[in-house]
Amino acid sequence: MRLGDRSSHYQPVAGERGTREGNISAIGKTDIARHIDGVTGDAVSHLERAIDYLYATLDGVHTTIHSYDDLLTLTDELGYKGNPLAPQIREWNLRELLEQHLFLIHSREMWDDIASRIEQHNLVEYFKWERDQFFRVIKPLQDLIQVMNTCKEVAAVDPDLFVKSVEFNQIPLRQYFFRVFNLWSSLVLMVEVSTSISTELFYRVEGNGSLTEVPPIPTRDDILREAPARVPAVW
């Protein structure tokens, strides 16, 4: 999801209060004017595109929540209670193995929280909790869209005032942006951690190795020759 793609067009202006020159950032008056109505287009069109991306992101959040609902409905229909190996996660030192062989865990606190939830409640209850975390970003996204609309309306009347109003905190764009950015970052980390754990659980219970093992890249002929005997005929 493309969140905040256009924020780079409105970077902070560093300068001292006082003269007009003092209020222009180190990048200079010419570059600020360019961001308003220069080679990359006017401020209103950039804001409109950013708002479109935010609406698409909001739709994506609702779609994600519905996807969790569909998954949970299916687990109920199938009588799926979870992965029998879930209580063993900590015994595998999975976080340490992933950090050694695959990727660094950006938040050990997040890892410990999610691993503990899956160990104690297994996957079905965990995914109910994970789905609910996406509700937390809906209102902040709506608020950010509202403040972006204010930016667009001001820019349509006075582009220079729009820039100065953001830079000097008359339009609280950054506050509403950082609230969404922080929540979005935490959701990305949450999904990264839970996906790595649930993938490892699936591989182990099916006897298909480990996510922590990174084998050589197979060729097409390798897969056509060997995979049919190693994957189920019906799945």
Task: Report how many domains make up the chain.
Answer: 1
Average of per-residue pLDDT across 78-98: 94
14 falls within a domain: yes
Find, among 190, 210, 205, 207, the residue nearest to 81 by Cα: 205
Find, among 63, 44, 182, the residue nearest to 131 by Cα: 63
234 falls within a domain: no
Phi and psi torsions of 209, nearest 5°: 75, -145
pTM: 0.79
153 falls within a domain: yes
64 falls within a domain: yes
What range defines the domain where residue 200 resides? Answer: 5-229
pLDDT tens-digit readout, 17-68: 343 334 434 444 444 444 444 434 589 999 999 999 999 999 999 999 999 9
| Pair of tokens at residue 222 | 């390798």
86 falls within a domain: yes
More confident residue, 1 or 151: 151
190 falls within a domain: yes
Q: Give the model's confidence band at 234: pLDDT under 50 very low, under 70 low, under 90 confident, else very high.
A: confident
Phi and psi torsions of 38, nearest 5°: -105, -140
Q: In sequence order, what are the beta bridge partners of 41?
A: 38
Average of per-residue pLDDT across 100-125: 94
Q: What angle do CA 229, 230, 235 make, to 5 degrees?
A: 100
pLDDT at 19: 37
CB 126 within 8 A of CB 80: no
235 falls within a domain: no
